[in-house]
Structure 1
Amino acid sequence: MDQRRIAFVLFDGFQSLDLFGPYEVFQHAHRLTGGYDCRIAAPRPGPVRSASGLSVHAPYGVADLDPETIDTVVVAGGDGVDEARHDPALTEWIAATGVSARRVASVCSGVFLLAAAGLLEGRKVTTHWAREQQLMREHPEVVVDCDPIFLRDGRVWTSAGVTAGMDLALALVEDDLGREVAHATAQEMVLFLRRPGTQSQFSVPLWSAQPATDPIRAVVSAIHADPGARHGVAELASHAGLSPRHLQRRFAAELGVGPAAYVEGVRIEAAKRALAESEHPVETIARRYGFGTAETLRRAFHRHLGVAPSDYRDRFRSTREYM
């Protein structure tokens, strides 16, 4: 098998996991197939200090790597990107590589380097949600969507922060070597579930605000304890000891969304786990988690994730099936 050369680009102040996560994905895939030649490069060869203080030795300066030999360039993010994107030698190399390489990818705020290199005009990209407004403000030529954890627009792949870089790398491996190799890589790395790019950065368990008072805390606990139970406003109000109208007002004030939207989000997360981890029919999962029918679940999945439940299961089921 011909090896594909993957160039990982660092700079002082990079986020270490933006390198280590994707790098390990490609290295594990390489051990399985022999398909990759991974190179780490920085503006100059030598030690590169990460934002956390951890130093990584870059064997190559970017000038040492011929852009014509690069299959895929992966640019890390990190606080140091705000300075690195003003390094003309670095951005010129990324621009040249972006023209000749088959693919260009960024993790988190590494997208700012791709934009500085002129590679993103008219492209749809994502980045960490905390950088969304800055990217939109400084690069109006780019279409920014910070809901997905990663996006592909032609040859350009971009992702949200940290662990999303591993999801991106697994998708790149699948693009190169097929689904079975990507799953086997995830299994070897003990990655429990390969997340779809369409999964929101703002999934309910991770990103919703936390309730500030005991009544709303009781409501949230009841929803998570049994997502499929009856969770109408009247039932939730009884958990809180509040009137339905008072509950709706307090809930929205403390969590930023209304009770119905929160319940649906929790139910979707529960259904996603069930689809990925079990063989239960879609109809059974729909009833168990409060959707009633498979059609209602399908509409909810399309609205939130852009895929049908059956497609989600086929593409992103647990890697345990390969054990």
Structure 2
Amino acid sequence: MKKILIIVPDGGMLFESAGIADILMHANQLHPEGLDRPRYHIDIATTQPHQVIHGQSGLNLLADHRIHELDPRAPLDTIIITGRGQTEQEGTAVVDWLRLAAPHARRIASVCGGAMLLAQSGLLNGRRATTHWKLLETLQVAFPEVRVEGGPLYIQDGHIWTSGGVTSGFDLTLALVEEDYGFSLARDVAQDLVMYLRRPGGQLQFSRYSLRQNSGSGPINALQTWILENIAADLCVEKLAERVAMSPRNFTRVFTRETGASPARYVAEARLAAARQQLEQTADTLDKIAAQTGFGSSINLRRIFEKQLHLTPGEYRQRFHCRKMA
């Protein structure tokens, strides 16, 4: 029997931890014949001095343990951290306990902002990792020794697993079940719970397209606005530099410093964002969208989508289009 400890900081989304526990418990209930004991024993631990975990929805969860009462040297199969907590003190309590417990656990995993605590404990040093797309840049800046990746729903690097935001923890949990007991059990759990064992679309977590916007009022800020309004124009570095009366070399240096992205990368992100928006909100053909967003042809549009988002424009539209799309 594998002992699983789920650490749930206060003030988060409780369905993350509840969903993970339900997936593991369902794995216990399927094909029980021949089992002398359940596959998983699951405990919930809180970071609070009491056993009530308050969720951001107003609902509460009763924990089995308070983390400060647990012996970190006790052997565990898997430790799962479902968030980073609301206060620095709460996060530090988890990190301090985790540093002591890590050598005694076979596997450690995080969901969403829990990756920040794994990084703080040093467990992600030199490893590939992911987190919620809103925290990717924060994780990379705060912990440059971590190899942060923004695409996958979850990443396994040795015995450390990290997952993206919210429901990606369910994908990770099914992967843990598959690693522990094989494909057939994980598939049966997924089918019973009406889940994908592996989601279509390259297992990608989709961020909202929020382009970096310089907060000032200088020429670079004005140029960013012009780019977004003229996305189909010739946006090569030379043309953009000319608009702000700079040499291409100096323009690239200044633009990158003020926006955090090179001109070429910013244009590419802007065009991809514009194409995603049109696929979501219009019924325009792919050729028309490609022309309006600077990709030129539907072939180029498809190539960029497959490279960046791991699915075709048509698949993206099917997943994200407005129900009352014109």
TM-score of the pair, normalised by structure 1: 0.65
Selected match of 2:68 from 63, 66, 73: 63
Contact 2:84–2:117 (Cα < 8 Å) also in 1 = no
Selected match of 1:95 from 94, 99, 111: 99
Cα RMSD for the two superposed structures: 3.5
Deviation at 1:11, TM superposition (A): 1.7
For 1:272-311, list aligned pairs within 5 A: none
Amino acid at match of 2:181: L
Structure 2 CA distance, aligned partners of 1:15 and 1:93?
Answer: 22
Selected match of 1:121 from 114, 120, 125: 125
Structure 2 CA distance, aligned partners of 1:142 and 1:42?
Answer: 27
Structure 2 CA distance, aligned partners of 1:77 and 1:219?
Answer: 33
Deviation at 1:52, TM superposition (A): 2.7
Deviation at 1:97, TM superposition (A): 1.7
Instruction: Specify the alignment match of 1:49 in structure 2.
Output: 54
Contact 1:81–1:109 (Cα < 8 Å) also in 2 = no
Selected match of 2:167 from 157, 163, 175: 163
Task: Kindly indicate which of the two structures has a greater share of residues assigned to helix.
Answer: 1
Contact 1:126–1:150 (Cα < 8 Å) also in 2 = yes
Instruction: Specify the alignment match of 1:267 in structure 2.
Output: 312
Deviation per CA, 1:247-289, whole angstroms, max 9, x where unpaired? 244x79xxxxx74446656537749x9xxxxxxxxxxxxxxxx
Deviation per CA, 1:8-36, whole angstroms, max 9, x where unpaired? 00121222232122111111112224200
Instruction: Specify the alignment match of 2:283 in structure 1.
Output: 221
User: SS of the residue aligned with 1:97?
Assistant: helix
Contact 2:111–2:164 (Cα < 8 Å) also in 1 = yes
Structure 1 CA distance, aligned partners of 2:67 and 2:109?
Answer: 16
2:169 aligned with 1:107, yes or no?
Answer: no
Instruction: Specify the alignment match of 1:73 in structure 2.
Output: 79
Contact 2:275–2:293 (Cα < 8 Å) also in 1 = no
User: SS of the residue aligned with 2:283?
Assistant: helix
Residues 98 and 267 (structure 1), Cα distance of their counterparts in 2 relative to 1, 3 Å cut? same
Deviation per CA, 1:193-236, whole angstroms, max 9, x where unpaired? 433895221399xxx757799xx56995245xxxxxxx5xxxx2
Instruction: Specify the alignment match of 2:147 in structure 1.
Output: 143
Structure 1 CA distance, aligned partners of 2:92 and 2:301?
Answer: 46
Residues 13 and 82 (structure 1), Cα distance of their counterparts in 2 relative to 1, 3 Å cut? farther
User: SS of the residue aligned with 1:102?
Assistant: strand
Structure 2 CA distance, aligned partners of 1:75 and 1:187?
Answer: 25
Q: Which has the larger radius of gyration?
A: 2
TM-score of the pair, normalised by structure 2: 0.64
Residues 209 and 55 (structure 1), Cα distance of their counterparts in 2 relative to 1, 3 Å cut? farther
Instruction: Specify the alignment match of 2:10 in structure 1.
Output: 12
Deviation at 1:180, TM superposition (A): 0.5
Residues 185 and 220 (structure 1), Cα distance of their counterparts in 2 relative to 1, 3 Å cut? same
For 1:163-202, list aligned pairs within 5 A: 163-195=167-199, 199-202=203-206
Residues 261 and 115 (structure 1), Cα distance of their counterparts in 2 relative to 1, 3 Å cut? same
User: SS of the residue aligned with 2:155?
Assistant: strand
Deviation at 1:81, TM superposition (A): 6.3
Structure 2 CA distance, aligned partners of 1:42 and 1:102?
Answer: 21
Deviation at 1:182, TM superposition (A): 0.4
Contact 1:136–1:144 (Cα < 8 Å) also in 2 = yes
Residues 185 and 82 (structure 1), Cα distance of their counterparts in 2 relative to 1, 3 Å cut? farther
Instruction: Specify the alignment match of 1:26 in structure 2.
Output: 24
Instruction: Specify the alignment match of 2:243 in structure 1.
Output: none
Deviation per CA, 1:48-98, whole angstroms, max 9, x where unpaired? 1123332111120123433323110000116626552233xx322111221
Amino acid at match of 1:147: G
Gaps of 5+ in 1: 224-230, 253-257, 274-323
Contact 1:248–1:259 (Cα < 8 Å) also in 2 = no
Deviation at 1:107, TM superposition (A): 0.2
Residues 196 and 104 (structure 1), Cα distance of their counterparts in 2 relative to 1, 3 Å cut? farther
Instruction: Specify the alignment match of 1:307 in structure 2.
Output: none
User: SS of the residue aligned with 1:38?
Assistant: strand
User: SS of the residue aligned with 1:122?
Assistant: coil
Deviation at 1:124, TM superposition (A): 1.0
Structure 1 CA distance, aligned partners of 2:140 and 2:196?
Answer: 33
Instruction: Specify the alignment match of 2:92 in structure 1.
Output: 86
Instruction: Specify the alignment match of 1:130 in structure 2.
Output: 134
**Percent identity, aligned pairs only?**
34
Contact 1:13–1:78 (Cα < 8 Å) also in 2 = no
User: SS of the residue aligned with 1:221?
Assistant: coil
Structure 1 CA distance, aligned partners of 2:103 and 2:201?
Answer: 24
Structure 2 CA distance, aligned partners of 1:142 and 1:197?
Answer: 25
